[in-house]
């Protein structure tokens, strides 16, 4: 089959013919229809410090996808819960199920997580084999949307961690695809005020289309001052920090209200100076580091919001490419003009 | 001043002239503009077993109201947080602040609660004195809506107790005013499916106007069967039991999904036979008894949803009367044709 | 191998030779050392209404056990987390992993649960095959104690569901083995006052040995009155209802404090009349139905308390029998003189 | 009366005669028996940047105390819940009761908090007037212990915030008085492993006397390495960061397990460089800033643990002085040889 492979240490990826992966007894084999291109894939393409430390080429890239089950292992079939022909997506973290986090509701930070497209072969390929327990039926959700439920799930995890959002004021810092999804999730969950901030006007426009009540641009707006005005001087209940930038962290701590919450998903490439006394302790703040998606609470919440039509991610999808066009996909992401970029593989 | 008073043990109430209540050092005196008529007032009017055991006539009736501050005690004024002229509503449970529930976030079940219009003089009067700490500014919410925030708060408490409603399936059993408000609250909080059930078609129509996706009438519908169909066989995540009827309890237990939740607000006049093994234990259900409003989390959530326009209770208000017309107000409630009934007192 | 089998509809069980169960790719085969006899096994022995409706003979009985891994399926071995020779116990609920409860932290009420010794062959046998994901290493916990972690887990689930027990007053209603374990768990978790109630003086003695501060016997004590006295008039924060009797339910509702909690584990054989207004709604109570063990939060909490020596269940173990002596085991349980009864199978 | 007063901007305090404070309608006047000396008082004595920015001399210092009610305002008396002669302590944060944090269970970070001994006259005096709602009866707890419930409450807040401690591994970083109290609270709440770390051997000795299973000294121990060994490689579930030092923060983040929690109470005097990606986001950590005591959940938990004898803070009390000896009290604190220092004022 064709697959997009990091063949050796260094930048880039190549399409090459590789064997269809074997389908173990507990696995299902999925024909990939669509896959999403993630910022992580950009790091892998560019072979940055993180990527070179973690990946062991050759490895097929890609961790966001949806498609159709074409084969089932004997145990997966015996369960009787999935079937050949089902349209499905999958959680890309393959976890051990035995460690303390796995056993206590935090499998998303399993000590032994293996991520598809990073630690084992991924989804930028015609077929992928996945443990049946990681696979979920789309049941009517369009397959293309199914392909981006992984990053949408990051947004659901970030917005809904920490309690009831209904009636809250939520600030989304950083309007890449996950930030834009977060705007939509906050609206669907009944937030009273959703403020989105980014330096990029194109991204702010996507945030508005996802339902942001107010968009702010740090290039021209006094972000913290405007937030104070918009919230009667309180600050916001929840900050979704998607920028991963030290400036974003500082804005987050300043913009959060007393006893508020900052959920951090954007992964910084460097350290941040934190004034814990002023910004965390005296304010009684809660900070939470978001990795992946809660398995599988996050997915259930997302399925429900999507199926009810409360969350519609389609405005965020701006580009579609074929598997052979990965260089172009990477380029539009680097240019900062893209929302979500999708690879059309086998649809 | 004029006030509607239960002058002696027995049915009915009378309008009479009584002294304006004194305004203590920590109190504010409020000119009542509007007041809401509650099912509790009907019990008091009819002098049922509960009322005759609890009320000590003479007592001015009425616990739902809003109006304008006209006088302030010395300590209330010193706080500087309220002012003469403020439009306000108030929590009608006056609690001790010292008992275990008061000290641990459950003041709504304070051991020493004194309820206005029940245990001390109430709001069906031109003026009422309230402790400043029970009083909240409307800040733009129409005063008439302020007058029904007490029962709306019951609905907020019932819907939001137990976690995030976003994406959930919610069943409201019993569509009196609080049930109808609950429908609106569930929608505002992002429920994916809100089902309302009542025997009274007028009430079901109000529930639909408040946003119910589906209305069911036990007179003609197989309520539990329909709910199973609507939820893919699961049942609902949350039942708001507003009927107070043993049949409602049974429907609640049957309609709730495995590991679901039943919040009970409707106060039954008799006992219910419960099959705890089948209906609670093997299902892993949680049941919760709703009294009043969380002080003051419930109020804050409600203020936010109202101010953002996410919750609009106006379709539920069907009748308005003057203080002299209480007999008519009681009659429309008994006839089952009313949603929320409001007394126009001093607007 | 030898196994204790319900061979046909009707009372009793017989030891017979049956094939060693096959060990599937995701399974481990365990040589059973010890097994616990549960009240459920008594129902199965007596072939009551529940048992006759649920079991499909022939089936090997027994769901509480511990032993040693003697064989591993290919996938279980590939995981590298368990090994031949490991001393282990196992969760006896084999769940689907795909339904809503399974996907949202409530697998203990999975729609498709199959319980060993009930819905499929169980542990009163020389060997049992279990999915590796249900199996946990004892890591130093004595194997005999490992064999009773299933019912101890019921107790942990009952005591720890609903928040921090530290400093609380806890009432355990019904001092069978699970009730006695609950006493020990409440003490280990820092309860300030643990009260145990039962009609059987032998069981009350076991409860005292597990750490009950006070024991009450409804035959001679005014249970609710004594609890009021012991708690300064408040009532207890948490009731663990282990009796399954309508009288227990009524005591539970009366003994719980305002805004308190009643966790129900004892499975009644008949209905209870509940005064929801007085006992649940006006008190602001929470009720929760306990099934099984949270998978696997409960197990982790239990492992920790056992390994630290904070919980020592040994006083509750009163009798040991061989596999051939099941009739005697059943008899001591029926006589009400037993705490926990253990079968010594292959130690 | 005699009082210890910061008379003017600059170091030191002086004992002088001042008027007995007036007792308002909602107040009680308390004869102070004992008071605790806090690190905050050291900052005020030394007139550091924080103190000089916040205090407006003249102000009587002192915020930890207990004593006896000698006079009651008219409204306080009318409540009937406190009486002249009651031995009491008090929460020293006087809050507005109306702001968003006050109304939603977070009054400890009230926007308008006025702290006794900082923002208004305090407890290093023969008498102090307090709002009755801030005052709690000791009911048998020794008055000297009542005088240090404020800092003990900080410890209770830090240890119990975030859920059930039973069975957990807890690290206390920094063994000043609050750290030592935290050790005792963690033990009382059922922690399975309590590790305490400090550079000062005297303080580690106090931590051991409060129940620490293991003490570590960064001067000689590889703290993070030892913690890994002690926890089977996991790290601890909860870190109580009491040091306020950037090194403490780094140890906290490294020592916390995946999906663990760091509660920060020690107030740093400078910023900390945080690697959010490695230390918070990829680990799924929760951080929480601890200010004061939850009003009044923390107090209730503390009262219960003290009354049951589960928590005994007496080993931490190392020095006692008279009001005139404040310079000596300050000196023993600066020398690092003191645990908790108490002023004997009017006992």
Q: Does residue A75 belong to the interface with chain C, where contact is any CB pair within 8 Å?
A: yes
Instruction: Write the DSSP symbol of residue B35.
Output: E
Q: How far is residue D44's CA from residue D257's CA, in Å, rounded to a whole number? A: 37
Six token digits for residue B331: 């009659």
C-to-D residue pairs, Cβ atoms closer than 8 angstroms:
71
pLDDT at res. C287: 98
Catalytic site residue C158? no
- What chains are in contact with C, requiring at least 3 Cβ pairs below 8 Å? A, B, D
Query: How many Å lie between the alpha carbon of D273 and the closest alpha carbon of chain A?
Result: 4
C128 has which bridge partners? C30
B9-36: average pLDDT: 97
CB contact under 8 A, A304 and B190: no
D306-327: average pLDDT: 97
Q: Does residue B274 belong to the interface with chain C, where contact is any CB pair within 8 Å?
A: yes
B324-345: average pLDDT: 96
Q: How far is residue A75's CA from residue A26's CA, in Å, rounded to a whole number? A: 5
pLDDT at res. B333: 95
Query: pLDDT tier at A163 (50, 70, 90 boundaries)?
Result: confident
Catalytic site residue B43? yes
Count the neighbouring beta carbons within 10 Å of the beta carbon of residue D297. Answer: 19
Which burial class, exposed, middle or buried, applies to C315 when counting CB atoms under 10 A from its CB (0-12, 13-18, 19+)? middle
pLDDT at res. C347: 76
Residues 6+ apart with CB under 8 A from D11: D45, D46, D47
CB contact under 8 A, C98 and A75: no
Q: How far is residue D141's CA from residue D306's CA, in Å, rounded to a whole number? A: 7
Which burial class, exposed, middle or buried, applies to C19 when counting CB atoms under 10 A from its CB (0-12, 13-18, 19+)? exposed
Answer whether C230's CB lies under 8 Å from C195's CB: yes
Six token digits for residue A275: 């004034």
User: Which residue's structure tokens are 């997506």?
Assistant: A89
Looking at every residue in chain C, the average pLDDT score rounds to 97
Looking at every residue in chain B, the average pLDDT score rounds to 97
CB proximity under 8 Å: C 120-149 to A: 133, 136
Answer whether A286's CB lies under 8 Å from A262's CB: yes
C269-303 pLDDT, tens per residue?
A: 999 999 999 999 999 999 999 999 999 999 999 99
Q: How far is residue D3's CA from residue D1's CA, in Å, rounded to a whole number? A: 6
CB contact under 8 A, C296 and A133: no
Query: pLDDT tier at C168 (50, 70, 90 boundaries)?
Result: very high
Catalytic residue from among C33, C40, C108, C215: C40
Of A234, A257, A289, the CB nearest to D280: A289
pLDDT at res. A299: 98
C28-41: average pLDDT: 97
Query: pLDDT tier at A26 (50, 70, 90 boundaries)?
Result: very high
Q: How far is residue A2's CA from residue A272's CA, in Å, rounded to a whole number? A: 42
D202-242 pLDDT, tens per residue?
A: 999 999 999 999 999 999 999 999 999 999 999 999 999 99
B257-270 pLDDT, tens per residue?
A: 999 999 999 999 99
Looking at every residue in chain D, the average pLDDT score rounds to 97
Q: Does residue A56 belong to the interface with chain B, where contact is any CB pair within 8 Å?
A: no
Using the predicted structure, report yes or no on whether residue D262 has a pLDDT greater than 80: yes
Question: What are the φ and ψ backbone dihedral angles of A29, each rounded to 5 degrees?
Answer: -100, 130
B102-155 pLDDT, tens per residue?
A: 999 999 999 999 999 999 999 999 999 999 999 999 999 999 999 999 999 999
Instruction: Write the DSSP symbol of residue D245.
Output: S
A54-102 pLDDT, tens per residue?
A: 999 999 999 999 999 999 999 999 999 999 999 999 999 999 999 999 9
Question: Long-range pairs for C1-5 at CB < 8 Å and ≥24 separation?
Answer: C1/C125, C1/C126, C1/C127, C2/C125, C2/C126, C2/C323, C3/C60, C3/C121, C3/C124, C3/C125, C3/C126, C4/C60, C4/C61, C4/C62, C4/C124, C4/C125, C4/C323, C4/C326, C5/C57, C5/C58, C5/C59, C5/C60, C5/C61
Query: pLDDT tier at C163 (50, 70, 90 boundaries)?
Result: confident
Using the predicted structure, report yes or no on whether residue D163 has a pLDDT greater than 90: no
D17-36: average pLDDT: 97
pLDDT at res. B163: 83
Six token digits for residue A168: 């809250």
Using the predicted structure, report yes or no on whether residue C68 has a pLDDT greater than 80: yes
Give the percent of chain B with pLDDT over 90: 99
User: Which residue's structure tokens are 């409003």?
Assistant: B293
CB proximity under 8 Å: A 149-168 to B: 160, 163-168
Query: How many Å lie between the alpha carbon of A101 and the closest alpha carbon of chain B?
Result: 22
Q: How far is residue A175's CA from residue A155's CA, in Å, rounded to a whole number? A: 11
Query: How many Å lie between the alpha carbon of A148 and the closest alpha carbon of chain D?
Result: 21
Q: Does residue A80 belong to the interface with chain C, where contact is any CB pair within 8 Å?
A: no
Using the predicted structure, report yes or no on whether residue D347 has a pLDDT greater than 80: no
C263 has which bridge partners? C240, C288
Answer whether B96's CB lies under 8 Å from D81's CB: yes
Using the predicted structure, report yes or no on whether residue D123 has a pLDDT greater than 90: yes
B74-80: average pLDDT: 93
Using the predicted structure, report yes or no on whether residue A3 has a pLDDT greater than 90: yes
Pairing label, strands D340-344, D317-322: parallel
Q: How far is residue D10's CA from residue D267's CA, in Å, rounded to a whole number? A: 22
pLDDT at res. D314: 98
Answer whether D184's CB lies under 8 Å from D211's CB: yes
Residues 6+ apart with CB under 8 A from B315: B180, B206, B209, B210, B339
Q: Does residue D238 belong to the interface with chain C, where contact is any CB pair within 8 Å?
A: no
A245-290 pLDDT, tens per residue?
A: 999 999 999 999 999 999 999 999 999 999 999 999 999 999 999 9
pLDDT at res. B343: 98
Q: Does residue B105 belong to the interface with chain A, where contact is any CB pair within 8 Å?
A: no
Give a three-class secondary structure readout of chain C. Answer: CEEEEECCCCCCCEEEECCCCCCCCCEEEEEEEEEEECHHHHHHHHCCHHHHHHCCCCEECCCEEEEEEEEECHHHHHHCCCCCCCEEEECCEECCCCCHHHHCCCHHHCCCCEEECCCECCCCECEEEEEHHHEEECCCCCHHHHCCHHHHHHHHHHHHCCCCCCCCEEEEECCCHHHHHHHHHHHHCCCCEEEEECCCHHHHHHHHHCCCCEEECCCCCCHHHHHHHHCCCCCEEEEEECCCCHHHHHHHHHHEEEEEEEEECCCCCCCEEECHHHHHHCCCCEEEECCCCCCCHHHHHHHHHHHCCCCCCHHHEEEEEEHHHHHHHHHHHHCCCCCEEEEECCC
CA quadruple B281, B284, B288, B294: dihedral positive or negative?
positive
Give the percent of chain A with pLDDT over 90: 99
pLDDT at res. A178: 98
pLDDT at res. A347: 76
Six token digits for residue B229: 């169909």
Answer whether A197's CB lies under 8 Å from A215's CB: yes
pLDDT at res. C190: 98
- Whats the size of chain A, residue-wise? 347
Chain D: residue whose CA lies nearest to B299 = D103
Of C193, C301, C307, the CB nearest to D166: C301
Q: How far is residue B19's CA from residue C323's CA, in Å, rounded to a whole number? A: 84
């Amino acid at each position: 089959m064709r697959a997009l492979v990091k063949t050796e240490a260094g930048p880039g990826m190549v399409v090459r013919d590789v064997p269809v992966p074997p389908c173990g007894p507990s696995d299902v084999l999925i024909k990939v229809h669509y896959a999403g291109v993630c910022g992580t894939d950009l790091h892998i393409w560019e072979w940055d410090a993180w990527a070179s430390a973690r990946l062991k080429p050759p490895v097929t890239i890609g961790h966001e996808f949806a498609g159709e089950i074409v084969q089932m292992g004997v145990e997966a079939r015996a369960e009787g819960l999935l079937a050949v022909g089902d349209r499905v997506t999958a959680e890309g973290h393959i976890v051990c199920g035995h460690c303390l986090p796995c056993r206590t509701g935090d499998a998303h930070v399993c000590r032994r997580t293996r991520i598809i497209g990073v630690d084992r072969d991924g989804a930028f390929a015609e077929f992928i084999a996945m443990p049946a327990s990681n696979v979920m039926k789309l049941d009517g959700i369009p397959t293309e949307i199914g392909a981006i439920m992984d990053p949408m799930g990051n947004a659901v995890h970030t917005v809904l961690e920490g309690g009831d959002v209904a009636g809250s004021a939520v600030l989304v810092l950083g309007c890449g695809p996950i930030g834009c999804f977060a705007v939509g999730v906050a609206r669907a969950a009944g937030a009273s005020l959703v403020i989105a901030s980014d330096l990029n006007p194109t991204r702010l426009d996507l945030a508005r289309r996802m339902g942001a009540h107010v968009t702010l641009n740090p290039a021209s707006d006094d972000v913290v001052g405007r937030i104070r005005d918009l919230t009667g001087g309180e600050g916001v209940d929840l900050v979704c920090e998607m920028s991963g930038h030290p400036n974003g962290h500082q804005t987050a701590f300043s913009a959060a209200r007393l006893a508020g919450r900052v959920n951090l998903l954007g992964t910084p490439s460097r350290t941040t100076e934190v004034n814990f006394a002023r910004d965390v302790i005296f304010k009684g703040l809660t900070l939470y580091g978001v990795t992946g998606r809660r398995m599988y609470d996050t997915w259930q919440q997302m399925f429900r919001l999507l199926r009810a039509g409360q969350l519609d991610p389609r405005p965020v999808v701006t580009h579609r490419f074929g598997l052979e066009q990965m260089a172009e996909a990477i380029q539009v992401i680097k240019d900062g003009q893209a929302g979500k970029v999708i690879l059309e593989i086998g649809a």
